[in-house]
Structure 1
Amino acid sequence: MKTVIRLGEACAAGRFHAVLQYMVLQDEAEALAGWIEPGCDLPEDCTSGLIYDSQSSKLIDKKRPTDPAQVFDLAACCWVMPAGAQWERVRRERDRLMSATDWRVTRAMEIGQALAPEWVAYRQALRDVPLQPDPFAIDWPAAPADESTEAPTEAQH
């Protein structure tokens, strides 16, 4: 038995190629036009696609992504998170942190006082998070030190 493959897109350097299809043929069978013999067997338990390394003539299982938002980077031969998807995550986390402080704004308004300056600065720093240049290296602001880190419950009124 021998494996034949049909190649698709290649990385910029031309080393790694996406494998569009593969077939296992009898040894005496000839490969079809446009198909090549990689000279190696299929990786065991290959479940999510193959990459052909033309330099080493090996088939590589690209495995499954660890996150559904990841895409396969053919040049690096690995799964990566696109910057746009990472920015979405950053904004969701920023929104979660902002929401966790909303009660402070409401409480200050209810009692007719200004929000403490350190909380105003913290909330502004959270609003500014998407202005940072790299979604993979966010410098998250630290919440001000305070004895009450959660919204009070009805029993605490």
Structure 2
Amino acid sequence: MKKFLVIDSSVLPDVFEKVLTAKELLRTNSVKGISEAVKKVDISRSTFYKYKDYVFGLSEGMVGNKAILSFLLKDERGTLSSILKHLSNNNVNILTINQDLPINKIANVSITIEISKMETDIDTLIENLKVLNGVVKSELLALE
């Protein structure tokens, strides 16, 4: 049985990040083949083959189609609405919304979404949500 972990890449050897970069170069047809990709990121072919099936970006390894997002939001008109609009614009289906009462003008909100038809990857979605007006914090809690 496989066991998956989510680990901040800053604590891992840089070879894992290089494997991901090589895989992305291949996926986007930015290089002609594996030899060119590994040369570009400065790893050996054997290193690439050793890790390519075991190293994934967060959204690349996604097997399910649901995610739980957590937010800290300023208690301002339109903040939650802008998040919902952004999710809708990315073809995300909202399954549940749970919101606590604001304390010190900050509310904790969790949103469960269905992402099978999402038009971007989960990392980009979260980064785009972080910059919306009134969003203090945005993070992925779980992926199913």
Q: TM-score, normalised on structure 1?
A: 0.25
Higher helix share: 2
Structure with bigger gyration radius: 1
Higher relative contact order (CA 8 A, sep 6+): 2
Q: TM-score, normalised on structure 2?
A: 0.26
